Amino acid sequence: MSTADQQPKSVRWARWTAVLIVLVIGGAAFVLSFAALRDLAIRAHTPHGLAWLFPVIVDGTIIQATIAVLALADSPERTFFTRVLIAGATVSIGGNIAHALVSGHGALAAILAVIAPAALLLDTHGLAVLLRSRNTSSTEPAPPAVAVEAVEPSAPEPVSSPMPTSSPVPPASVRPTIPPPVRVVQPFQPPRPVPVAVSTGGN
């Protein structure tokens, strides 16, 4: 088996191990916070049969808001759930501190009471991040295949031979200069007199 096949399995094993640990720690934090908030509700004269609803409302709001914040990471509605998450975490932490102080356990118990709701908040957020990264990696599209276009060899183009010229014309700078013909003009001569024979009077 190649390294490329082993790596995804090791990543999946690490992810699911982290999910299991987060679930165990988050469950323990929820139980401790649940017990403190339930006892605080009973001390506030809430009926015993309904006191368990108070921690469910508070800590359940933290879980629901955390998942909504991560699911709406690119949506404007995330602001609302972020405020709900802050409010739920504040009520849960404050309720655990108030329970420690009301029970008379002192400041040290109040400090330790913060751990359970804070761990529940962090573990819930971490679990949502793990599950979201798993879904993102599983739905990530494969890289597009590069299409290789087959190029057919083209036929060689025929080489055209230059046409022979019968009488190449030399350039103008090489052509010989032929002088124009000279016309000889004869000087004007007056006509010569024609001799006339004169007869004398003897018959």
Write out pLDDT tens, residues 128-161: 777 777 666 655 555 555 554 555 555 556 555 5
Structure tokens at 104: 């008379």
C-alpha span between 96 and 41 (Å, rounded): 11
- Categorize the per-residue pLDDT at 4 as very low, low, confident or very high, splitting at 50, 70 and 90: very low
pLDDT of residue 3: 47
Question: How far, in whole angstroms, is CA 62 from its chain's centroid?
Answer: 32
Neighbour tally for 93: CB within 10 Å = 20
Per the prediction, the chain carries an average pLDDT of 74
**Start-to-end CA span in the chain (Å):** 165
Across 91-109, average pLDDT:
87
